[in-house]
């Protein structure tokens, strides 16, 4: 074969390769475009004020939802092809709220103490815009599988958990305070077995003066590489020492209370103790954990003024607190709104910041492809009263209310029937 012949063949081969590659690319592009066009929108939320702190969105936007996921967030998404269009003008559209401190192991056989005071999650979450709750150690490594079977797998609310360092969770005295049943290895083993559901270790309700329970809880967290949630029910241990032992990323709850049997974050003259501010600077996160006895305006308001803001608004809602001063997490958010925090800052702490506290960056945000968990909130104006855990009242003129809640693309709460059809329409 001559040199000339071979170069002609080479050229023909190159042209052929180029043409076939272009054809394949063209076909691929065509099928991709048509599949995008064919992907119909299940729900289109039109005209709401979207606040998505992760994406730094704080403006009027439309949100398209398909197959349980966020399909698109954009200024103006055409309604054509959408199966349901819901006008949400005048409302805030945010990621589904995350309640970081709950007790939802309902009917736990072993955990009689909190099994009784626990609440059924779906009964309380959606009407407050909450799509994810984290159970604060109602179960331990021994009974987590029961909790999962009995509650987690049967609920629509996404349920995550802190695993109690006490083997059977919140069973009350004496079993909950038995140091011999606080096993960092079994605890971390079960955490590693359920990484999709267990987000950390919890310790609380220990009235001894030994450091061993806290050390064991921290050890379990270290082995499993998860944060610790510390319910400040360790009255015999000094607060400064506790905060010193806690690692960056660990969470301190019941932060703003005046309970007499433990050290308050404020000193006697109402000043935030310097080591508390230092701890937050070091990366320790402060959760509200309001509950029935653990949130007081006399602590929260000065703390806010002095720069100690809660990182999350865990409610610690249970059977004995749900009908008292605190109604749900929205009530806590409304308290902070009236104490001067901005709506944007509140939404940040109730969504993206809470997701970061439990190292779940897939939650608390509205990026395309994320699970379509959303809260659609109104801020009502009027004359309102808010009550803390000590029975003290604060008046305010604004209040959050959940208009709609969407969980995995499904409408699970619709206060004013915005997604319903008019009964007179044919």
Enumerate residues 41-100 that contact Zn ion by CB under 5 A: none
> What is the spatial distance between Cα 106 and Cα 150, in angstroms, rounded to a whole number?
8
Q: Which two tokens stand for residue 363?
A: 């939650």
CB nearer to Zn ion: pick between 88 and 170: 170
Least distance in angstroms from the C-beta of 140 to Zn ion: 14
Nearer to Zn ion, 63 or 119 (CB): 119
Closest to Zn ion by CB, 52 vs 316, is 316
Question: Residue 329, class by beta-carbon neighbours within 10 Å (0-12 exposed, 13-18 middle, 19+ buried)?
Answer: buried
Could you say which of 135, 316, 331, 388 contacts Zn ion (CB under 5 A)?
316
**Residue 230 beta carbon to Zn ion: minimum distance, rounded to whole angstroms:** 11
Given the complex with Zn ion, which of 294 and 377 has the nearer CB atom? Answer: 294
Residues in Cβ contact with 81 at an 8 Å cutoff, skipping those fewer than 6 apart: 40, 41
- In terms of C-beta density within 10 A (0-12 exposed, 13-18 middle, 19 or more buried), how is residue 351 classed? buried
Pairing of strands 69-74, 57-66: antiparallel
| Total residue length of the chain | 426
Least separation in angstroms between residue 404's CB and Zn ion is 28
Beta-carbon contacts of 78 under 8 Å, excluding residues fewer than 6 positions away, are none
Contact indicator for 229, 284 with CB cutoff of 8 Å = no
**C-alpha to C-alpha distance for 322 and 360, rounded to whole angstroms:** 27
Cβ burial of 294 (10 Å; 0-12, 13-18, 19+) is: buried
- Residue from the set 64, 104, 136, 198 that interacts with Zn ion by CB under 5 A: 136
Number of residues that bind Zn ion (CB under 5 A): 2
Span from 20-28, 41-49, 116-124, 129-137 in contact with Zn ion (CB under 5 A): 129-137
Least distance to Zn ion from the beta carbon of 316, Å?
Answer: 4
Q: Phi and psi of 6, rounded to 5°?
A: -65, -40
Distance CA 175, CA 187 (A): 16
Q: Smaller CB distance to Zn ion: residue 216 or 318?
A: 318
**Minimum distance of Zn ion from residue 317's CB (angstroms):** 9
Closest to Zn ion by CB, 94 or 138: 138
Binding mask 347-376 for Zn ion (x = CB under 5 A): ------------------------------
Under rule CB under 5 A, which residues in 263-282 are in contact with Zn ion?
none
Shortest CB 369 distance to Zn ion, Å:
33
Looking up tokens 């170069």 gives 7
Please state whether 81 falls in left (phi above 0), alpha (psi between -120 and 50) or beta.
Answer: left
- The smaller minimum CB distance to Zn ion, of residues 316 and 331, is found at 316
Stretch that binds Zn ion, among 17-25, 53-61, 80-88, 316-324 (CB under 5 A): 316-324
The answer to the question of residue 287 lying near Zn ion (CB under 5 A) is no
Task: Report the residue number, 254 or 407, with the smaller CB distance to Zn ion.
Answer: 254
Q: Which residues bind Zn ion (CB under 5 A)?
A: 136, 316
């Amino acid at each position: 074969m001559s040199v000339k012949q071979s170069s002609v063949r080479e050229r023909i081969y190159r042209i052929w390769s180029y043409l076939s590659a272009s054809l394949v690319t063209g076909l691929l592009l065509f099928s991709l475009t048509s599949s995008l066009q064919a992907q119909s929108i299940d729900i289109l939320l039109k005209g709401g004020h979207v606040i998505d702190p992760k994406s730094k969105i704080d403006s009027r936007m439309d949100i398209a939802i398909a197959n349980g996921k966020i399909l698109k967030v954009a200024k103006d998404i055409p309604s054509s092809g959408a199966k349901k269009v819901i006008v949400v003008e005048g409302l805030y559209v945010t990621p589904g709220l995350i309640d970081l401190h709950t007790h939802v192991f309902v009917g736990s056989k072993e955990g009689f103490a909190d099994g009784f005071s626990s609440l059924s999650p779906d009964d309380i979450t959606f009407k407050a815009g909450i799509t994810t709750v984290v159970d604060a150690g109602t179960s331990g490594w021994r009974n987590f599988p029961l909790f999962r079977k009995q509650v987690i797998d049967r609920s629509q609310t996404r349920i995550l958990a802190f695993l109690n360092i006490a083997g059977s969770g919140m069973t009350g005295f004496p079993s909950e305070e038995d140091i011999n049943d606080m096993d960092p290895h079994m605890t971390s083993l079960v955490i590693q077995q359920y990484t999709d559901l267990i987000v950390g270790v919890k310790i609380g309700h220990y009235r001894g003066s030994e450091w061993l329970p806290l050390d064991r809880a921290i050890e379990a967290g270290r082995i499993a590489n998860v944060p610790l949630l510390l319910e400040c029910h360790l009255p015999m241990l000094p607060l400064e020492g506790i905060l010193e032992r806690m690692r960056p990323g660990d969470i301190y709850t019941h932060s703003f209370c005046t309970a007499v049997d433990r050290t308050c974050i404020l000193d006697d003259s109402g000043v935030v103790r310097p080591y508390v501010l230092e701890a937050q600077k070091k990366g320790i996160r402060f959760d509200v954990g309001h509950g029935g006895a653990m949130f007081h305006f006399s602590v929260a308001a000065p703390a806010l003024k002095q720069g100690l803001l809660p990182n999350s608004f865990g409610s610690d809602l249970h059977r004995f607190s749900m009908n008292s001063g605190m109604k749900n997490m929205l009530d806590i958010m409304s308290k902070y709104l009236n104490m001067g925090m901005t709506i944007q800052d509140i939404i940040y702490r109730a969504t993206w910041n809470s997701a970061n506290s439990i190292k779940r960056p897939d939650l608390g945000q509205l990026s395309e492809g994320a699970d379509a968990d959303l809260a659609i909130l109104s801020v009502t104006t009027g004359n309102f009263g808010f009550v803390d855990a000590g029975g003290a009242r604060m008046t305010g003129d604004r209040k959050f209310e959940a208009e709609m809640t969407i969980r995995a693309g499904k409408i699970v709460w619709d206060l004013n029937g915005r997604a319903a059809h008019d009964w007179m329409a044919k």
